[in-house]
A and B are shown apart, each in its own frame.
Chain A
């Protein structure tokens, strides 16, 4: 069990490691920037030592991240909106070929699946998995990093194959959308929303901070309901998601994620205060898009995560 102090040390370690690799710096180069020895940096990255406030400030200035926001979120999160990315390199991170083409998913949208994997199959299995698919775990410290949809699909397939993900527990996977820490810096925005409707509108505005695999659009907004369409973009067709189990899983996951998000900031209650109707489905009926009608039955003003 971490206490506040060790938690802080590990947070700094993680951010320093992630930023250094993002900049493709060696430990020697980063140590020189921080005016410390390479040995000290190595200990800082391992969580055995930590930076002084002066060093933290200098580090954040150098890598151009807010010293305040990075501290509070514990991640590197610039909230840049997504454009499709191509290619196998992000800083010194190497993305395997299978995940390097049409990189349209931000780490922000992948983290719920990673976290579910870790929770259900264990930290060791997740580490082994990432090692097997040849991705550095530190890639996932920067929430703006992008990977293609194959990565999420492979994780989901593995979870299904191992029996850790079934029809009846997809809501547990989607529950991450309720939890502020999965949204990074954007969480504070949702937290300040005074109603579910406002929160959904905010999510729609910020959707490119999650992915560009689909186009999300409000089809109808009125006093009674919100209608949102989700249309896969052209590049999405290059990915193999058309098997029955996976399609069913994706369809349920999207719906459960919306229900969970409606109850953002609460410990439980996917779907309470919201009625969700699927008017069209891309995954199960081959419609070009999914269309959801969200009827907010209880605006649930100001739930605060405590």
Chain B
């Protein structure tokens, strides 16, 4: 949205909608913005733009980002719920439809942001997408793939350079430490068996939006095809369920699976992509290094979080 598309009349309308959603009186709302009731009445009546500081003062009290307030893109139901109870809350309606993904992916990206961009960056994402506490505390909470794609796009816009998206994907190894994925994959003693387990079984339990198929497994190279499920795309009214950011992150996640065995990550390459006009996404994982390590360093102490490397 460009500057010319928004004006202070729209902004005051959004502020009024927020006030109503959180059931604040004019006086208490003015106080949240650190305005006197008189100033607030004068500003809102004349539709004079408040200052940036007034908006950030308000954000101390409501679970929204600055951008939400400026663009007016707010789920007021979710806002009202979060204001009533900080511990439960409600996911914005648009992310509840066809919710066949798990919150785990969001936890992963938030953890990455917290580690490499600061807690404030993670908090901005939480506010911007109006993510409620129950989603933040339960990795198995259902969300839809639209939410994941939008979060990837947003973080790529403001925080994570596109060239680092694969690295963000690889970070899933660390983000999933101590969880059920680690428990399921760290038992493997064979890289090929691990990948077969991931793409023939495990992944269907965590991501029901796409069909994953092993196209070939020759030597050290595994090729995996990914096709979106038509019915989910239709339910969400989208032609594409993923975006380029999601595809890049998926490459990194796929490359990191060998890490659960304490081995080097595979090299990932997306040789076909729906965003480049192909009919499917095709990922190639080369795990030569991990295979060599598996043979020669079978007795190596595990340091799968990579602290010593």
* Chain A residues packing against B (C-beta within 8 Å): 4-5, 8, 12, 34-35, 50-58, 61, 64-69, 71-73, 78-81, 184-189, 191-192, 201-202, 204-206, 209, 217-221
Contact = CB atoms under 8 A, between A and B. Distances in A.
Given A65-B158, A66-B158, A69-B124, A79 B118 contact: yes
Given A78-B161, A80-B161, A34 B3 contact: yes
Given A50-B51, A52-B8, A218-B308, A73 B3 contact: no
A6 B221 CA distance: 60
B67 A57 contact: yes
A205 B51 contact: no
6 contacts: A53-B70, A66-B124, A71-B56, A72-B120, A187-B118, A189-B115
Interface of B: 1-4, 6-8, 11, 49-53, 55-56, 59, 65-67, 69-71, 114-121, 123-124, 127, 157-159, 161, 164, 307-308
Given A66-B124, A67-B67, A79-B117, A54 B159 contact: no
Nearest to A186: B118
Given A66-B158, A78-B161, A54 B118 contact: no
Nearest to A54: B6
Contact of A66 (B69, B70, B71, B121): B121
Contact of A189 (B50, B52, B114): B114
Contacts, number: 124
Given A35-B4, A188-B118, A220-B308, 6 more contacts: A12-B52, A52-B49, A53-B11, A58-B2, A67-B70, A217-B308
A185 B59 CA distance: 18
Contacts of B51: 5, 8, 50, 52-53
B66 A71 contact: yes
A190 to B, nearest CB: 9
B307 A64 contact: no
Given A52-B8, A58-B2, A66-B124, A8 B119 contact: no
Contact of A58 (B3, B11, B161, B307): B3
Contacts of A64: 157-158
A184 B159 CA distance: 14
A53 B65 CA distance: 13
B220 to A, nearest CB: 28
A71 B164 CA distance: 24
A71 B66 CA distance: 10
Given A53-B11, A53-B55, A221-B308, A69 B158 contact: yes
B120 A57 contact: no
Contacts of B71: 57
